[in-house]
Structure 1
Amino acid sequence: MDQQSRNTVFAGGFSNPPVASAHAFRAAMNAMARPGQVQKIAGATPPEGISVAAGSLLLTLCDPETGVFLAPDVDSEALRGWLAFHTGAPIVAAELADFALGGWQQLQPLNRFRIGTAEYPDRSATLIVEMHRLDVPNAMLSGPGVKDTARMQVPELAALQANAALYPLGRDFFFTSGSQVAGLPRSTQVIAEA
């Protein structure tokens, strides 16, 4: 590992971990509690190619007990080292992942990620999907945490509708871009925007 890679691994964590992780955790929980509502999340400076929002989520939600899958578009020695140093989270296969990170196409097929079991529906994967932007809504949302309806940009309607149909099983999603995050829990119904 060269000096630049070494610096990337050790740098980029929360400058004030207790405060920054609390703010990031609140943003993540608000995103899931209010599907479609974009939240600001920051604090991390992950390796190049990963958004501040995705890096902040990883630092907040991952630890040595949570397996992380890195899709080919984001997987790098720098990111693996950064995650290991700051969270201790092991890199695992998609089928074993608690969290997965990558672009939508690179995370396919979704059916390789866990959906939980009848006894333990919470033993499912949460996917952190990197997006170019979050401000062009193409879907309507309804369900818990949504008053009437909400609008949201999603990468693919059919796959997210199929995921919601699995409820109470299914996967949960965070969509990230820059320092923004939006959540889509499995309990949310997704329909095409009229």
Structure 2
Amino acid sequence: MSTVTFDGGFADPVFASQDVFHAVMHALSMPGTVAALGERALGPLPLCAAASAILLTLADYATPVWFEAPDETQDAAAWLTFHSGAPVLSEPAKASFVLLSDTTDVESWDIFARGTMEYPDRSATLILPVRSIDGGSSLELTGPGIETSRTIAPAGLPAGFASAMAVNTALYPLGFDIVLVCGAEAIALPRTTRIKEV
């Protein structure tokens, strides 16, 4: 087993996971705000610090994970399983967490779990790497947790992102939640958030 499997986990798992959990929950309750998660964890590429910390905090033996680019993420998958116990699946439809690639195609997102009317919480959370948290085209957010509207401008979103999210929001209470990550920062976009290009 490669040494990268062992390195990069939380130095203090209890306190680090508590801090990250609170930061992620705050970000989900206030969509569009930037959560600074710090460099508490750093798994092998393509995991950034934010994705590493989120997965170590939220994924465990009962929450399977799927990596969109399995040929490029073998070290990251082994690292995650070693540190969290989370199984890495080959079937995306059964994953609780999905690490998308930076070349993802929104047309392929229909395969991910969106929950059921009886259990809407049985849906996937997508983690989407972007080039930057700002500096891209502006998106206007409205919905729960946003008093009037909020604007974000992440750079490196896949083509058709806003349209795909509109379809997702229309399925509420079903639908997936998504977290944009870059470096040690993250922006949460729950399924209730309406996203419009401006």
Name the CA shift for 1:104/1:146 in 2 (closer, same or farther; >3 Å): farther
**How far did 1:179 drift?**
0.3
> Which of 23, 28, 39 in structure 2 is aligned with 1:27?
23
* Separation in 2, partners of 1:132, 1:28: 20
What aligned pairs does 1:5-84 form with structure 2 within 5 A after superposition? 6-42=2-38, 43-72=40-69, 75-84=72-81
Deviations 1:130-163 (A, max 9, x none): 1111113521011110110011236211011111
**Equivalence for 1:130:** 129
Q: Partner amino acid for 1:120?
A: Y
Q: C-alpha distance in 1, partners of 2:183/2:71? A: 15
**Structure 2 partner of 1:150:** 150
Answer whether contact 1:73 1:102 (CA < 8 A) is retained. Answer: no
**Against the structure 1 CA distance between its residues 100 and 107, is the aligned structure 2 distance closer, same or farther, given a 3 Å change threshold?**
farther
Local SS of the residue matching 1:140: strand
- What is the aligned partner in structure 2 of residue 164 from structure 1? 169
- Aligned residue for 2:180, secondary structure, equals strand
Cα pair 1:140 1:150 within 8 Å, conserved: yes
Match of 1:188 in 2: 193
The answer to whether the 8 Å contact 1:73/1:106 transfers is no
| Aligned-residue offset at 1:77 | 2.3
Q: Percent identity?
A: 36
Distance 2:9 2:45 in 1: 14
Q: Shift in Å at residue 75 of structure 1?
A: 4.1
Amino acid across the alignment from 2:100? G
Q: Aligned equivalents of 1:64 and 1:99: distance in 2? A: 12
Return the alpha-carbon distance in structure 2 between the equivalents of residues 106 and 118 of structure 1: 28
> Is the contact made by 1:94 and 1:112 (CA closer than 8 Å) also made in structure 2?
yes
Deviations 1:8-67 (A, max 9, x none): 101111001111111111111111111000110131011132110000000000000001
| Superposed structure 1 runs of 4+ greater than 4 Å apart | none
Structure 1 residues not aligned, in runs of 5+: none
Gaps of 5+ in 2: none
What SS does the aligned partner of 1:144 have?
coil
* Count of aligned residue pairs for this structure pair: 189
Q: Structure 2 length as normaliser, TM-score?
A: 0.90
Match of 2:118 in 1: 119
RMSD: 1.6
